[in-house]
Amino acid sequence: MAKFLQILVNGISLGSIYALTAIGYSLIYSILQLINMSNAAVFLTSAVIFYALYSSITAGQVALTFILTLIAAGALGYIIELVAIRPIREKGDSNTYALISSIGVKTILEQICQGTFGSEIKPFPTLLAGKYIDLFGARTSAIQIIIIVVTLVILFVMNWYTQHNRVGRGLRALSQNLNACHLMGMPVNTLIGVSFAVGSILAAVSGVAYCMYLSSISISVGAAIGNKAFAATVLGGIGVLKGAVVGGYILAVIESFVAGYWSMSAMNFVSFSVIIIVLIIKPTGIFGKKEQHKV
Amino acid sequence: MKKLISLLLVILMLITTVGCSKPEDKVESAADENGDFHVAVSLPYTGTNASYAEYIDMGIKVALKKLENEGWLNGDGTGKIICDYYDDKNDATEGATIATKVTTSTEPYYLLEVGSFASGVSYPCATIYKEAEMVQYALTCSKSDYLETSGDWGFSLSMTQDTAAARVAAYDIKHLGFDKIALIYSNDSWGLETCKFYTATAEKLGVQLLASEKYDDGQQDFTSILTKIKQTNPQLVMCFCAENDIVLIRQQAETVGLDCEWQVSSKSRTSNVLQNLGDLGEGLYGIYAKTKDLTDPVYLEYEALYKEMYGAKYAEDNNTTQKYADQGYNCMMTVIWAIKETMKTGTTRQAFRDKLATLTDFPGVQGKLTFATGRKILQVQYLSQIVRGEDGKLKWINYEDLLNTFDVDAVAGLK
Amino acid sequence: MSLLSVKNLTIRFGGLVAVDNLNFEMEPGKITSLIGPNGAGKTTVINMLTGFYTPTSGKIILYEKDGKGNEVPVDITGNSTDLVVKKGLSRTFQNIRLFSNMTALDNILVGMQHRIEYGSFLSLFPNAQKNKWEKQAREEAIEILKKVGLEDAAYERATSLPYGKQRKLEIGRALASHPKVLLLDEPAAGMNPAEKKELSQFIRSLLNEVEGILLIEHDMKLIMDISDKIVVLNHGAKICEGKPEEVQTNEEVIEAYLGKKGVQRNVTAG
Amino acid sequence: MKTILKKHLLFLIIIVVMCVAPVFTNAYQLRILISAALAMIFAMSLNLLMGIGGTVSFGHAAFYSIGAYTTAVLWYHFRTAYSTNFIPVLLVTGLAGLLLSLPMSRITGRYVTIITLSFAEIVNLIIKNWDPVTLGQMGIVGIPSVNLFGHVLKSKTEFFYLTMFFVIMTYIIMNWLVNSKLGRNLRAISNDAIAAEAMGIKIFPYKVIVFTISAVFAGIAGSLYAHLMSYVEPSTFNSNLSFQCISMVVIGGLGNFSGTMVGALFLTILPEYLRRFEFLFKYRMIAYGLVLVIVMWINHSIPGTKLKNAVTSRFNALLHRKNAEAQEA
């Protein structure tokens, strides 16, 4: 029982990371139908930015560093859209071209991180290190609980934001019909830029949270997360906020159990098989709405 | 038209990638018209193993600096050794491309190649160097059949895994007395081989492993397998992992409350691990090939130069030189020795190889280096451990005296 | 004599009844029109006829001639689209759906595809059968392009054609499958009066190619000009059927189009 | 005849240049050329799937790896020659393509991408962990030179010409395919699936066919790769390889096979070319990434499909009119 609970707790805390990253994918996909490959690189870059700031300018101040990192990540997201996506989008080209462009951005960011940070693992500041809570025999570290709580808070904020805020409503309108929004005189470009910024900020939150959870940082932190978060997005139903979240948690918990009761090599095998099977049974993902067969 | 222009551009790129000259056989000497020798260094400067590449690179540069201070090979500023550095991204395909480039290049004409880091990259390239009859100095390659595959042309400064892993098992079981052991290893050719030899030796010594878990490259979250291992209640967890992974594993073991002794292989017995683990590292066992005699003039000379060139790094690593830098230094020093020895009669690739194979009791920074028959490097391996020194700081300690009372090779069945 | 008959056709989407118990017949050599206000379920009918939707209940019967010239009823209810096309129904779309990145000629060739009798395997290498069919198909496609007046535009991309020509190309593509029944979904949408006039003549001329035409249109003038029979739908149900002049005077139709005026009148469906 | 020449001019130039090149190149350049030729086959097979079939696949490396491993495993266990392995390679990769196409009966559009990605991951994990057959991460070492019915291709030059033979065959077959009913219907489906359905095209069988054919050609490239390297290991075939392949196709222009060849050549040579610049040493791949962004930026593709389409359709129309006039006269 203790083992079961322990594995469940581990799964949920990893799931929070997946969920946060997945929302970023989902947000941009729902607006542009673009799989933004650069998201995984933003995940890594913001962790590196956090590390760099923490070990120099804002030494020791986690909260301040965190805020600065989020600002930087938001700016990065906006710039990515401005430089690599917008020119292609404005030509009205297929988003396959934008996809390649985002792969290019990913390569560039990863290389910059590698070059500046090096490939050594380095200690990452964490919160409440060494504090544990015993949940019915499952040892839960304080940072795990913080991550889960923060994720849930962000999800509610995001949900509220898209429902009730002007910008949020704008984003939802964009995901319905881009051209109509353009004709209605909405600042489409700004809104898309904002959505990239929001996606990047979420990636930054999860990147920093993940490194805090590992209490160390190396340049390979983003590599495994990117594909998984993308998979989680689709599993839950692309373009649906709660879909990305549920997908992330399901995927992480499954992985955790397969690794804990079977083997780590089987872990990815099972999780990718689950994705295929779920999509065959429900081709639009768990929460995805059936697309109108419009004739 | 646009297509044609782009095609022309591509062709132009191809032509300029390397000058259009066919390789010709150089018989007399591998040196160029200035009397300089060229060495190709192929290391994973980018990718997951880049930290190792960086250290080896540092060692090589220290050796070159030393030679430069001595006035190069001839003592009068001529006879330089010029290294060209290639990034193989820890990728076998890239490695093979570089191998082809290096073996066929005439401008410059390379005497030998140094690298790569991982067995998975240097091993498949070995045949290319063998065919081109050029030395591949894969200093860290430990694959058990590397020396056979590379014909006469492969050299390595690392113990092969059959020996190394068996020794670790002997230390763990017979000296430290553990009989409840769990194993974590990386799912790559190095991890698989070490696991195989470790398990075999353990079984020979009457110990069944409680668990044997492998993980894929890029894995960051080990909590699930650690929870699984925790259920088996091991006394010792043996990790055949890269240094970055051991840090994560050890930290996450704390998260799931896995309380036992830990041991790492020689690959992860590094100052990096010491530093990143902090207090968690206390008591961690490691295995170490050779030791640095801190009073040895060879070492002192190297250390002084190292400190001069990489002072910050040196301080960061607890005022020691990095182990892989030592390897790089040793490698380049043996290369310099072999060139010097053959210069009178003409340093060809063949002469160089023949000379290098006879290396005996060469004063390296980690003690004497000898290539025995079949170019097998002879090395002693010590058990080591992270302990708290008198100054309250953690550091790696090597149990050298142990070998006087504990014949590890006999126990491991290697004699 | 009948060409196609629709019996008690009903379709529900969830709780919504989109088409309710619809009955009508199409006669050979005639243009039958389906009209009604927006959302009356006209396009849904076409979608059911061509196999895009499976009706909840009811039947769609196509009459084929056997060797002796007798009419044989064939039930095509719920058949998949490819079977329906083979049996001789072909359609156009309300919002033009051409293969935009392909040439006009290729568009026609795709329309012809079920008559080109060499398979995917033979596509992989040159062979006599493939060459024969391709040559023949190309000649025929050019013929069809001539019929719709697009022979000059054979090698132009579909999207680069002007709007009116795109409409014609779409009709040509539908003709290419040699249908018995042609289903045109609002062909005059977005055209000016002159173009509409030309189109109505063109549609008339199509009766030489096909046995019957089912037309959906909003433009009353065009409908009244060329229809032989009109079926009026409102809220998925048929409210009236008959010749143009009969429909024109039907009060329920007027009411459906213009809304209820003054007093509630009880009118029996014509 | 003249139009055919015009249409395939770029292809002919590439082939002539590449076939003559070994006379001037050294072994290193030859190796790059071989890699480029393999990339051409691989990318053309993806172009069939993406450019003609309209499926964005993130997992094309799976078929490449299956091709490489089929020939390597057969050699390892049975010591069979390349020519003997060729048919099994076709069968196994074809079967894999068929398998991947099965979910496409239900799954469409954006969701296809994730299915291909998952499939590739699963294939890679099977190769990594099926130790008795594939030797897992140890890799299969010492795969000999290509043996064609007893004739061993000893030199890399011979191997290069074998690869070029497959490049030419791939291009020709792809062209036959595209200019036939199959290719037309595939393009129709990717243009507008609903309209294609309305024309009586059954979509699913076409998906099966396009996946199978595409997989077979990727498999051929993979099997040649195994012999080129004489070593296969699972980590070579990761998702980066798939993305690289997508980049080649998109740079060359979707649905444009000679463009794909240029794209493959360009992206294979570029990283090697960038080695020249020492200041780029660790940042070589940044330049690579920049090129991707800039190429997309300037004109979506090097040969410029859009422009090309516009020009050729005008040209063809003109030509057609002239022909018609000539006939009338």
- C143, pLDDT greater than 70: yes
- C265, pLDDT greater than 80: no
Taking the Cβ of residue D125 and every Cβ of chain A, the question of whether any pair is shorter than 8 Å is answered with yes
Residue D4: band (very low, low, confident or very high) from pLDDT cuts 50, 70, 90: confident
* Chain C residues lying within 8 Å of A293, measured CB to CB: 52
Q: Is residue D313 part of a domain?
A: no
Q: What is the pLDDT of residue D327?
A: 55
Bridge-based pairing state of the strands B135-137 and C89-91: unpaired
Tokens 């409409």 belong to C167
Taking the Cβ of residue A143 and every Cβ of chain D, the question of whether any pair is shorter than 8 Å is answered with no
Do chain C and A touch: 3 or more Cβ pairs under 8 angstroms? Answer: yes
DSSP symbols for B24-74: ----S-S--TTS-EEEEEEE--SSTTHHHHHHHHHHHHHHHHHHHHTTTTT
Q: Is residue A70 part of a domain?
A: yes
Q: Give the CATH number of the domain where residue A162 resides.
A: 1.10.3470
- CATH number of the domain located at residue range(s) C96-178 in this protein: 3.40.50.300
Phi, psi of D139 (to 5 degrees): 75, 160
**Which amino acid would we find at residue C100?**
S
Q: Which of B79-88, B181-190, C195-204, D3-12 bottoms out in mean pLDDT, i.e. has the lowest?
A: D3-12
- D266, pLDDT greater than 80: yes
Taking the Cβ of residue B108 and every Cβ of chain D, the question of whether any pair is shorter than 8 Å is answered with no
Q: What is the pLDDT of residue A45?
A: 94
Instruction: Enumerate the H helices of chain A as residue ranges.
Output: 2-32, 38-54, 62-80, 86-90, 95-117, 142-164, 166-176, 178-183, 188-214, 221-236, 241-261, 264-281
C203 burial level (CB within 10 Å; 0-12, 13-18, 19+): buried
* Chain C residues lying within 8 Å of D188, measured CB to CB: 99, 102, 110, 113
CB pairs under 8 A between C and D: 116
- The residue segments making up the domain with residue A52 are 2-281
Look up residue B73 and give its two tokens. Answer: 């090979």
Query: Smallest Cα–Cα separation from A207: which of A41, A60, A58?
Result: A41
Nearest by CB: A103 against D106, D115, D247: D247
Q: Is residue D158 part of a domain?
A: yes
- The residue segments making up the domain with residue D172 are 2-238
**Average pLDDT of C22-43?**
87
Q: What is the pLDDT of residue A50?
A: 94
CA nearest B99 in D: which residue? D28
Q: Is residue D187 part of a domain?
A: yes
Cα separation, B372 vs B366, whole angstroms: 17
Widest pairwise Cα distance in chain B: 80
Q: Is residue D61 part of a domain?
A: yes
Residue D307: band (very low, low, confident or very high) from pLDDT cuts 50, 70, 90: very low
Residue A165 CA: distances (Å) to CA of A169, A172, B350, D83? 6, 10, 76, 66
Q: What is the pLDDT of residue D301?
A: 47
DSSP symbols for A187-214: -HHHHHHHHHHHHHHHHHHHHHHHHHHH
* Chain D residues lying within 8 Å of B20, measured CB to CB: 24-26, 29
Residue A155: band (very low, low, confident or very high) from pLDDT cuts 50, 70, 90: confident
Contact A103 D251 (CB under 8 A): no
Q: What is the pLDDT of residue A293?
A: 52
pLDDT in tens, D16-26: 988 888 888 88
CA nearest D308 in C: which residue? C157
- The alpha carbon torsion through A110, A111, A113, A116 (nearest 10 deg) reads 180
Task: Identify the DSSP state of B400.
Answer: -
pLDDT in tens, B105-114: 887 889 999 9
CATH topology for the C1-88+180-270 domain: Rossmann fold (3.40.50)
Q: What is the pLDDT of residue B378?
A: 79
Cβ partners under 8 Å of residue B369, min gap 6: B157, B330, B334, B359, B361, B362, B363, B377
Q: Which of A78-87, A89-98, B223-232, C51-60 bottoms out in mean pLDDT, i.e. has the lowest?
A: A89-98
Do chain B and A touch: 3 or more Cβ pairs under 8 angstroms? Answer: yes
Residue A282: band (very low, low, confident or very high) from pLDDT cuts 50, 70, 90: confident
Tokens 């194993």 belong to B183
Top residue of D137, D154, D299 to mutate, by most chain B CBs within 10 Å, is D137
Residue C267: band (very low, low, confident or very high) from pLDDT cuts 50, 70, 90: very low
Residue B187: band (very low, low, confident or very high) from pLDDT cuts 50, 70, 90: confident
Strand blocks (E) in B259-364? 261-264, 285-289, 362-364
Bridge-based pairing state of the strands B110-115 and B135-137: parallel
Query: Smallest Cα–Cα separation from A295: which of D82, B400, B402, C91?
Result: C91
Distance from the C136 Cα atom to the nearest Cα atom in chain A, whole angstroms: 32
Round the average pLDDT of chain A to a whole number and report it: 85
Instruction: Kindly list the structural domains of chain B, giving each domain's residue range(s) and its CATH number in brackets, ordered by start.
Output: 35-158+322-375 (3.40.50.2300), 162-264+271-292+380-412 (3.40.50.2300)
Phi, psi of B381 (to 5 degrees): -125, 130
CA nearest D317 in C: which residue? C155
Cα separation, D21 vs B15, whole angstroms: 10
Q: What is the pLDDT of residue D306?
A: 46
Q: Which of A284-288, B224-228, B349-353 bottoms out in mean pLDDT, i.e. has the lowest?
A: A284-288
Q: Is residue A276 part of a domain?
A: yes
Strand blocks (E) in B251-380? 261-264, 285-289, 362-364, 367-369
- B23, pLDDT greater than 70: no
Neighbouring C-alpha atoms within 13 Å toward the C-beta of D184 = 23
Residue A23: band (very low, low, confident or very high) from pLDDT cuts 50, 70, 90: confident
Domains C1-88+180-270 and C96-178 fall in the same CATH topology: yes
Question: How many domains does chain D divide into?
Answer: 1
Round the average pLDDT of chain B to a whole number and report it: 86
Instruction: Identify any residues that bridge with D133 across adjacent strands, giving them in sequence order.
Output: none
Percent of chain D with pLDDT over 90: 39
pLDDT in tens, C177-217: 889 899 998 888 888 888 888 888 888 888 888 889 999 98
Percent of chain A with pLDDT over 70: 97
Contact A121 B252 (CB under 8 A): no
Nearest by CB: D17 against B11, B21, B86: B11
Nearest by CB: D281 against B87, B91, B97: B87
Cα separation, A147 vs A13, whole angstroms: 7
Contact A101 D296 (CB under 8 A): yes
- D303, pLDDT greater than 50: no
Percent of chain A with pLDDT over 90: 24
Chains sharing 3 or more CB pairs under 8 A with chain D: A, B, C
Top residue of A4, A10, A269, A270 to mutate, by most chain B CBs within 10 Å, is A10
**Could you give the 3-state DSSP secondary structure of residue B84?**
strand
Q: What is the pLDDT of residue B134?
A: 92
Q: Which of C108-112, D152-156, D188-192, D274-278 bottoms out in mean pLDDT, i.e. has the lowest?
A: D274-278
**Average pLDDT of B195-204?**
93
- B11, pLDDT greater than 80: no
Kindly report whether the peptide bond that precedes residue B108 is cis, defined as omega within 30 degrees of 0: yes
A226 burial level (CB within 10 Å; 0-12, 13-18, 19+): buried
Q: What is the pLDDT of residue D41?
A: 96
pLDDT in tens, D43-72: 999 999 998 988 888 899 999 999 999 999
* Chain A residues lying within 8 Å of D115, measured CB to CB: 275-276, 279
Cβ partners under 8 Å of residue B164, min gap 6: B142, B158, B194, B197, B265, B266, B287, B289, B381
- C269, pLDDT greater than 50: no
Nearest by CB: D250 against A100, A230, A295: A100
Top residue of D55, D118, D124, D305 to mutate, by most chain A CBs within 10 Å, is D118
- B20, pLDDT greater than 80: no
- A34, pLDDT greater than 80: yes
Q: What is the pLDDT of residue A222?
A: 78
**Average pLDDT of D191-200?**
88
Q: Is residue A150 part of a domain?
A: yes
The angle subtended at Cα D50 by Cα A230 and Cα A235, nearest 5°, is 20
Bridge-based pairing state of the strands B81-87 and A216-217: unpaired
- A118, pLDDT greater than 60: yes
Taking the Cβ of residue A127 and every Cβ of chain D, the question of whether any pair is shorter than 8 Å is answered with no
* Chain C residues lying within 8 Å of D197, measured CB to CB: 52, 81-82
Contact C50 D198 (CB under 8 A): yes
Percent of chain B with pLDDT over 70: 94
- Rg of chain A over all Cα atoms, to the nearest angstrom: 19
Q: Which of B1-5, C145-149, D211-215, D279-283 has the highest mean pLDDT?
A: D211-215
Q: What is the pLDDT of residue B16?
A: 65
Cα separation, B219 vs B223, whole angstroms: 11
**Average pLDDT of C128-155?**
88
Q: How far apart are the first and last CA of chain D?
A: 22
Q: What is the pLDDT of residue B90?
A: 85
Taking the Cβ of residue D204 and every Cβ of chain A, the question of whether any pair is shorter than 8 Å is answered with no
Q: What is the pLDDT of residue D162?
A: 94
Q: Which of A92-106, C79-93, D255-269 bottoms out in mean pLDDT, i.e. has the lowest?
A: A92-106
| More confident site: A76 or D271 | A76
Distance from the D92 Cα atom to the nearest Cα atom in chain B, whole angstroms: 24
Cα separation, D42 vs D68, whole angstroms: 12
Question: How many domains does chain A divide into?
Answer: 1
| More confident site: B369 or D60 | D60
The angle subtended at Cα A93 by Cα D102 and Cα C171, nearest 5°, is 70
Q: Which of A131-145, B68-82, C216-230, D175-189 bottoms out in mean pLDDT, i.e. has the lowest?
A: A131-145
Task: Identify the DSSP state of A148.
Answer: H
Q: Which of residues 106-125 of A touch D (CB under 8 A)?
A: 106-108, 110-112, 114-115
Domain ranges, ordered by start, for chain C: 1-88+180-270, 96-178
Cβ(B180)–Cβ(B233) under 8 Å? Answer: yes
Taking the Cβ of residue C160 and every Cβ of chain D, the question of whether any pair is shorter than 8 Å is answered with yes
- A98, pLDDT greater than 60: yes
Q: Which of B61-70, B142-151, B251-260, B339-348 has the highest mean pLDDT?
A: B61-70
Q: Is residue A291 part of a domain?
A: no
